[in-house]
Amino acid sequence: MKPSRNVLIISLTSAIPTFFSASWIVYLPLILSKLGIPIITIGLIYGITSLLPSLLSYPLAYVVKSLGAKKGIIIGGIIRSSSIFLIYTFSPPLVITGFLMDMGIGYPLSNISRQSLIMREKMRGTNLGWFMTIAGTSAFFAPLLGAESDISRFLILLTGVSSLLASVVRALLLKEAEVKEKVIKIDTNSLITSLIFASFSLFITTDSYIIPLFSSRYLTLDELGVMFSLRILGENSLAFLFGHIIDKIGNLKAFILSVIGSVTFMLLFSLSSSLLSLIYFTIWVLFSSMGGIASQTLFYDLNRGRFEIAYGLLLLVSGVLSLPSSYLDALMLSFYPVLPFIIQAVASIIGLVFLLMKPK
């Protein structure tokens, strides 16, 4: 159950930037709102930050395939740190530019590269789970720190600095074996698979931008800090165990269980308007954590020999669909806040049915 050398390096170098990032990134919709940006515009910004990386993910996947995952994760880290320095200014145009640059280029390049490195390891579920546990659990108290500091800009600065240092360490320590593998072109099967997997996060996920806006109707900023800390703990603390279980029972069985559990507790969360929602939210996060690992290993199995390119296609499809869905989320939140959760539940069930009906 131990992580590989590369996964351990990636995990440890991600821990500190993740901690500082988690102290303010969950509050970014509130920051944008305080800067005078309307909720509908915030929804449009988040839609663009989903569309932009998706449009670029497909060509970036070829970049990763060509340059190698190690170079990709280093370059991506440098871009991300630069964009965070722009957000640090708290100037509305620069904040938006930095956010778009981070999510549009830095994140997808880093994400595809990291996934490529991890998925080439043996015991993929276990290694992915260890990455989430080591890199993410350290950020458990970060949202509370952000709330107590009234979302201090200094935390944003520390995020940029630590991200830049992490890129340097990775450049020195990461090792990437040469992989002689012919690039297989995307076919109809990959497109169908991408559409199916995109349905599971079409409208709502545990880190959707509308979650803080939805919950701020009845929770204080400190209580939101507790909720986001619980999210980080739930997503990461047991991920190594979920990964091991997935490797043992199979990713398809684990994914089915996670979808059913996620849908159930997501709906309970949406219907609760008290501190009880924190319990439902935490259980939803736990199922989502297992589902995230299971879906990625399952997606890899369904796209062997073309994972990077197929993963780029998945991000493209998800982003194209997210632009209208993010905007619709904002509209529905204004008129009937529970509706986005109901629609996501229906989309997840339909996606699961199509996945099970899909020829192996």
Query: What is d(CA 60, CA 242) in angstroms, rounded to the nearest whole number?
Result: 29
Express each pLDDT in 201-237 by its tens digit: 877 888 777 788 888 777 777 778 788 778 878 888 8
Distance, in Å, from the CA atom of 70 to the CA atom of 90, rounded to the nearest integer, reads 32
Cα–Cα distance for residue pair 74/7, rounded to 1 Å: 14
Give per-residue pLDDT as tens, 117-170: 888 877 888 888 888 888 888 777 787 788 888 888 899 999 999 999 999 998
pLDDT band at 40 (very low <50, low <70, confident <90, very high): confident
Give me the domain span that covers residue 61: 5-357
What dihedral angle (degrees, nearest 10) is formed by the CA atoms of 240, 246, 247, 251?
-140
Burial of 95 (0-12, 13-18, 19+ CB in 10 A): buried
| Other Cβ atoms closer than 10 A to 307 | 23
pLDDT score of 349:
92
Q: Residue 29: pLDDT above 60?
A: yes
Q: How far apart are CA 229 and CA 223, in angstroms?
A: 10
pLDDT value of position 224: 80
Mean pLDDT of 337-357: 88
Which band of pLDDT confidence, cut at 50, 70 and 90, is reported for residue 86? very high
Q: How high does pLDDT run on average in the chain?
A: 83
The residue count of the chain comes to: 360
Choose among 73, 69, 81: nearest CA to 165: 81
d(CA 94, CA 83) in angstroms, rounded, equals 9
* 185 band by pLDDT with thresholds 50, 70 and 90: low
Name residues whose C-beta falls within 8 Å of residue 141's C-beta, 6 or more positions apart in sequence.
229
Integer Cα distance of 349 and 356 in angstroms: 11
Exposed/middle/buried for 144, CB within 10 Å: 0-12, 13-18, 19+?
middle
The confidence band for 82, taking pLDDT boundaries of 50, 70 and 90, is: very high
The pLDDT value given to residue 236: 83
pLDDT at residue 83 greater than cutoff 90: yes
Say how many C-beta atoms besides its own lie within 10 A of residue 141's C-beta: 16
Q: What sign for the dihedral angle of Cα 343, 347, 350, 352?
A: negative
Q: Which residues contact 298 (CB under 8 A, 6 or more apart)?
A: 251, 252, 255
Residue 112 contacts residue 309 (beta carbons within 8 Å): no
Contact (Cβ atoms closer than 8 angstroms) between residue 326 and residue 52: no
CATH number at residue 170: 1.20.1250.20
Counting residues of the chain whose pLDDT is more than 70, the rounded percentage is 94
DSSP 8-state class, residue 106: I
Q: Return the number of other C-beta atoms located less than 10 Å from residue 279's C-beta.
A: 14
The answer to whether the predicted template modeling score (pTM) of the entire model surpasses 0.75 is: no
